[in-house]
């Protein structure tokens, strides 16, 4: 049975009323922090993940459907997934340290540069806008596909498709 406070929170979320976040924090922050702490032991990182969780809850508040899940179940999934994403991103960052001794960056000669691709930004402007914004986000702004999906508010599958098509179109420009 749904409590009256839960009904009130759901109602406030559906209308994007900021009181919802205060109520959510008051009633669920401790439980969600407990979920996060089971995955992330570092206190500061867990606090950051809790903050990110509440940002996501607010961002996706209109998507909550009481017929699909209880409010706490929905909140739990967001907190759990945010914590898992944080752990994965930390593992990815620590596994990609640059080894300067084995790097060939400093050994490039002017002959090694392909002059045809130095004008890539100019050729990028020849693409449709939908492909151009995805390629710029991924290659020039350094976003992951997931980050681009969230930032541009485009489904992840669409990001992947537009990237593939955009790169194919660029290839046609360079290899007619």
pLDDT digits (tens, 9 = 90+) for 27-54: 889 999 999 999 998 999 999 999 999 9
What is the predicted pLDDT for the residue at 127?
Answer: 85
* pLDDT value for 97: 55
Q: Is the pLDDT of residue 114 over 60?
A: no
Over residues 80-106, the pLDDT tens digits come to: 999 999 998 887 766 555 555 555 554
Q: Which long-range contacts (CB under 8 A, 24 or more apart) does 127-135 make?
A: 127/166, 127/169, 127/170, 128/169, 130/162, 131/162, 131/163, 131/165, 131/166, 131/169, 132/166, 134/159, 134/162, 134/163, 134/166, 135/163, 135/166, 135/167, 135/170
Q: Which residue has the higher pLDDT, 108 or 174?
A: 174
């Amino acid at each position: 049975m749904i409590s009256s406070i839960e009904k009130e929170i759901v109602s406030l979320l559906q209308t994007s009323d900021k009181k919802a976040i205060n109520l959510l924090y008051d009633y669920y922050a401790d439980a969600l922090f407990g979920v996060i702490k089971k995955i992330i032991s570092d206190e500061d990182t867990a606090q950051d993940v809790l903050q990110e969780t509440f940002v996501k809850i607010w961002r996706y508040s209109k998507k909550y459907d009481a017929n699909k899940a209880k409010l706490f179940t929905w909140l739990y999934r967001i907190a759990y997934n945010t914590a898992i994403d944080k752990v994965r991103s930390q593992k990815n960052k620590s596994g990609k340290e640059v080894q300067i001794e084995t790097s060939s960056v400093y050994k490039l000669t002017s002959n090694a540069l392909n002059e045809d691709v130095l004008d890539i930004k100019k050729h990028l402007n020849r693409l449709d806008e939908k492909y151009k914004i995805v390629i710029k986000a991924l290659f020039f702004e350094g976003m992951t596909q997931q980050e681009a999906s969230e930032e541009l508010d485009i489904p992840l599958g669409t990001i992947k498709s537009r990237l593939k098509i955009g790169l194919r179109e660029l290839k046609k420009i360079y290899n007619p």
